[in-house]
Structure 1
C-alpha cells in the first residue's frame, strides 16, 4: 500500500516523490514534494494504484449520500477503501470526456468531499430507476464509458419478460422456467387461468412484489384474487381490465411448491461474476405469511435461516443453475457483475426461477452482506486487471 493525496484547489492526485510513477484510473499520479491534507491509502501493483471505481447514482440521491443516509452505499465504499481502492460517486452528468466530477469519501474526515478524478477503471451502476437509465445524461455517460473500454457493471434494470426470453435461449434452463408471457388483455389472463388453474400476474417492471396478483379459478367463472394487500373474490376477470391496461404485465403459471411448517418459501440467491463465471455469494430464505401471496419481507414475509431447509436443496444443481443463468444474462444484457435470483423449490425438490434482479436489494442476513462486500471489491479489482 502507498499513500496518495488530493489537492482540492487544483484537482490533482499526487504521490510523494520517489514512490514511483503510477497510473490512476485513465490518468496518472503527479509527483509532489509533500502530500496535501486529503490522503488515501491505496494498493499499488504493476505500476497502477486502486482500482479507481466509479459509482453511478441518481442525482436525487446525492443529498442523502452527503447527509450519511446512504448507509449501504457507504459500506461498499468503506470496504473498497479497506481493500486499497477508491470510489468516486457521481450522477450521470458528472461523467465527462476525460474526468469524473463527484464525491469521494475521506476516511480521516469521515465524510464525503467534492472532487474530480480521471475516468475510473470500472463503473458500478446503482441508479435507482429505469426511467433515469433511459434519459440522455445516462445514455451519454454509458456511451463515453464504452468508448474508453471502461466496464459498466449492470448496465440496466431487467424486465421480467426480457429475462425469461434470454433464459429460454438455453435449453438446459427449460426445466427451471415456469411458463411466462406478456399479456395485453383480460382475455389473455382468462386463457392462461383456464389452462393452469392458478397463475401470477406481475408488473413487467415491478419489484418487491409491487403489482403482484395471484389468481385461482373457481366454479362458474369466479376467481380468487390475492395481492399483498389481501384477498377478494371476483365475479368476473373483466374487473381486472383497467389494471391490465394501466401498464406492462406478464402472466406466469404457478408452481406446486415445497412448504416449511405449512408455509410456502423461496430462496433469495445472491451471485457475483468471478474469473469468467457466476457463482453463489449467499443464499437467503423467505417464508410467506399465512394466506400471503408473496414471501417479500416488505409485504409480511419473514426471514428463515437457510439451515432450516438446506437438506432439501440440491446445491450442486443450484450452482449450475446460477452459472447458466448468469452466462445467458451477460450475453443478452452486457456485463452482469452481480444479480439476485428468486428461486422456488418444488414438491419434488425441482428448482424454478421466479425472477432475476439486476440490482439486488440489501439482504437481511448480515453474513451474506459481508460476503457481498468482499465479492464486490474482488469483482472491481478483477475488472480493473488488479486481481490477486
Structure 2
C-alpha cells in the first residue's frame, strides 16, 4: 500500500490526530480504518498522522496505514498530504500549545488544505447564527450563565432552562431547571446523573439553587437556554441529528437525518445518556401525519444547509462537515440546539457509507483548488 502512495501523483489525504504512548495514536480507530478503506475504493490514498509526526518541512512523513491481513496499524514513510482532515478526538488535546501551533502551521502552508481546524464553542455558535435573519429564528433564547441574577431573569422569562457546558460533548453536564411559582419549593433542578438515573433538587431559595448549580459546574463556563417543548413519541421527547457535508463539488448538502429518542425520564436524547437511534418518520408521523412529516423533513434539510453556511461564514474557518441537533416543537416549529465539528459516526448504514465517501470526495475537490489565504 505504501508503494502505491509513493507512485503516481494522486490527491493524498491525512487524517490528523495526536500520539498515544499506549496505542500509537488517539481517536476512533474503526472510523479511521473505514476512511482508509474508502480512500482505496475511490483511488485517493488516505493515512493517519499525528500532530507530532506531521513535519511540513520534510518531503515525507511517518504516517499509519491499516493492514487488514492482521488487523494492525503500522508506520510507513509517506508523502506529505494535499489535504488534512482534523479528527483530534478531545478538546484538551487540541488545546495543547504544540498541537495548536501545528494546526496553525498547516493553515498557513502554501499548498496543504486543512478543514475543520477546531471544535465549536456552543455560545459562539448561537452568536453566529443570530447574525443572520433566517437562522436567528431557529435559535432558542440563550445567554451566558453568569450568576443568580441572570439565572433568575431567564427563569422569569422562560420558566424552564437547559444549562449546558459551553464545550460539552455527548450530553455530559447538562441540567434542567424549572420555576413553578405555585409550588412550596418553586425551583426544581434535574441533574442527569450516571447509570441513567437523575438527581432532582428542589428549593424555595434562589441562593440555594445557585449554590447547588455551582457545586455541579465548578469553573466550567455554561450557557442557559430556553427550554423548548419538543414533540414526543410514546411520552418521550426526541430530536433530529442531521449530518451536513460538502460534496465532491464543494457545496453543502445533507448526507442524512436520523432521530434520537430520549431514554425514560432522561432530559437529553444523547445515546450515551440512554437515548436510542430511531427513524425520523417513525417519530414524526404519529404527531404530524405523513404529509406534514415530509414537509418538516424538507425544511430540516434546507435549514441545516443554511446553518452550515452561516457557521462557516462567521467562524472564518474552512469547514467540510458538521452534525447538528435540530428539534421540532409541538407546533411543528424547528429549533437549533447544537452543532459538532467532529461528528460522531452515524450508525445508520446508508448515512455512514455516504458520509465516508463525501469526506474523501470533498478532499479530492479541495486538492484541486488553489490555496486561499484568509
What band does the TM-score fall into relative to the shorter chain? Answer: 0.7 to 0.9
Structure (1 or 2) with the greater strand fraction: 1
Is 1:234 matched with 2:237?
no
Separation of aligned partners in 2, 1:306 and 1:106: 37
Which deviations, in whole Å up to 9, do the C-alpha atoms of 1:38-91 show, x marking residues without a partner? Answer: xxxxxxxxxxx2x2111111212871669x982122111111112112122111
1:34 aligns to what?
Answer: none
The whole-number CA distance in structure 2 between the counterparts of 1:297 and 1:243 is: 22
State yes or no: 1:369 paired with 2:358. Answer: no
Count of residues paired in the alignment = 345
Partner of 1:60: 20
Aligned counterpart for 1:353 among listed residues 328, 336, 339: 336
Q: CA deviation at 1:324?
A: 1.2
Shift of 1:385: 2.4
Q: How far apart are 1:166 and its partner, in Å?
A: 1.1
Structure 1: gaps (5+ residues) = 7-12, 16-21, 24-48
Partners of 1:93 and 1:4 lie apart in 2 by 20
- Matched-pair contact (CA < 8 Å) for 2:35–2:46: no
Asked which structure has the greater CA Rg, the reply is 1
Q: CA deviation digits over 1:205-257, x for unaligned, max 9?
A: 11111110011112356322123221413213232233344210000001122
User: What is the alpha-carbon distance in structure 1 between the residues aligned to residue 40 and residue 68 of structure 2?
Assistant: 8
The match for 1:164 among 118, 121, 126 is: 126
Deviation for aligned residue 1:4:
7.3
Alpha carbons of structure 1 residues 88 and 344: separation in structure 2 relative to 1, 3 Å? same
- Structure 1's consecutive aligned runs of 4 or more residues displaced over 6 angstroms after TM superposition are none
Q: Which runs of 5+ in 2 are unaligned?
A: 370-374
Take 2:147 and 2:99, find their aligned partners in 1: how far apart are those partners?
Answer: 33
Superposition deviation, residue 185 in structure 1: 1.5
SS in structure 1 of the partner of residue 103 of structure 2: helix
The answer to whether 1:225 aligns with 2:199 is: no
Q: Provide the rounded CA distance (Å) in 1 between the counterparts of 2:349 and 2:2.
A: 32
**Counterpart pick for 2:3 among 2, 5, 21:** 5
CA distance in structure 2 between the aligned counterparts of 1:62 and 1:54, rounded to whole angstroms: 21
Distance in 2 between residues matched to 1:223 and 1:65, nearest whole Å: 46
Higher mean alpha-carbon deviation, 237-246 vs 193-202, is at 237-246
The one of 277, 286, 292 equivalent to 2:260 is 286
CA distance in 2, matches of 1:294, 1:4: 45
Give the whole-Å Cα distance in 2 for the aligned partners of 1:117 and 1:71.
21
Report the CA distance shift for 1:84/1:264 in structure 2 as closer, same or farther (over 3 A): same
**RMSD in angstroms over aligned alpha carbons?**
2.4
- In structure 2, relative to structure 1, the CA distance for the partners of 1:227 and 1:277 (3 Å cut) is farther
Aligned 8 A contact 1:272 1:281 in 2: yes
TM-score for both structures, normalised by structure 1: 0.82
Per-residue CA shift, 1:102-151, capped at 9, x if unaligned? 21234566533212223211111111122222223222322332222322
The yes-or-no answer on 1:118 pairing with 2:79 is yes
Tell me what 1:185 maps to: 147
- Measure, in 2, the Cα distance between the counterparts of 1:114 and 1:376: 23
Greater shift after overlay, 161-170 or 317-326? 317-326
For the residues of structure 1 that align with 2:368 and 2:321, how far apart are their CA atoms? Answer: 18
Kindly tell me: are residues 61 and 149 of structure 1, through their superposed partners in 2, closer, same or farther at Cα, counting changes over 3 Å?
A: farther
Task: Tell me which of 111, 119, 131 is aligned to 1:149.
Answer: 111
* Aligned-pair CA distance for 1:262: 2.1
Q: Which residue of 2 aligns with 1:328?
A: 310
Tell me the equivalent position of 1:209.
Answer: 171
Q: What SS does the aligned partner of 1:348 have?
A: coil
| d(CA) in 2 for partners of 1:340, 1:259 | 22
Q: Secondary structure at the match of 1:280?
A: strand
Equivalent pair of 1:277/1:327 in contact (CA under 8 Å) = no
TM-score, scaled relative to structure 2: 0.85
